[in-house]
């Protein structure tokens, strides 16, 4: 991944919503159960809200109960970047977009599936793109009636 995207701060502020800017550029965390995608089950891909890079696919998403979109693996090897994060007195592993450097969330090693990983990602850092074949979209969550 060598086609890195770098923009001045003012440009990010212009292209991102305040919530997206706070998460991606200021390493913010949205409040649990408030994001767009924590309860999304449609088929498709989750792209970086900053630069559009494909980060996760719906097949890796699972209900962790934590209130943020959770995945057991990235879309591909190297689809996300990680680094140690010692903020708030905790030792965590930060997950970032490898192309624009945007903060996405954290990854924990207590995942329930074979990968053992739980990528806990802010909805505001993601843009969901429903796959065309399964044209259900995220509205598939809504209960009839
Ligand atoms: Zn990005």
The pLDDT value recorded for residue 123 is 98
For 91-121, the pLDDT digits (tens) are 999 999 999 999 999 999 999 999 999 999 9
Q: How far is the CA of 143 from the centre of ligand 1 (A)?
A: 33
pLDDT attached to residue 144: 53
Active site residue 66: no
Radius of gyration for the alpha carbons in the chain, expressed in angstroms and rounded: 15
Would you kindly state where each structural domain of the chain is located, as residue ranges? 31-129
The predicted structure's pLDDT at residue 2: 63
Give residue 102 CA to ligand 1 midpoint distance, Å: 6
pLDDT digits (tens, 9 = 90+) for 13-33: 999 999 999 999 999 999 999
* pLDDT value for 18: 97
Q: Are strands 70-71 and 81-85 parallel, antiparallel or unpaired?
A: unpaired
Q: What kind of architecture, by CATH, is found in domain 31-129?
A: Beta Complex (2.170)
């Amino acid at each position: 991944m060598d086609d890195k995207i770098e923009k001045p701060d003012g440009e990010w502020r212009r292209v991102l919503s305040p919530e997206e800017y706070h998460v991606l550029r200021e390493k913010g965390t949205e409040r649990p159960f408030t994001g767009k995608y924590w309860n999304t089950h449609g088929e498709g891909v989750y792209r970086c809200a900053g630069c559009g890079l494909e980060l996760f696919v719906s097949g890796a998403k699972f209900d962790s109960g934590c209130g943020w979109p959770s995945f057991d693996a990235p879309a591909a090897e190297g689809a996300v970047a990680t680094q140690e994060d010692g903020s708030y007195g905790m030792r965590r592993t930060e997950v970032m977009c490898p192309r624009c450097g945007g903060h996405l969330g954290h990854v924990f090693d207590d995942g329930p599936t074979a990968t053992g990983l739980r990528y806990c990602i802010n909805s505001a850092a993601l843009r969901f793109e429903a796959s065309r074949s399964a044209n259900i979209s995220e509205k598939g969550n809504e209960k009839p009636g």
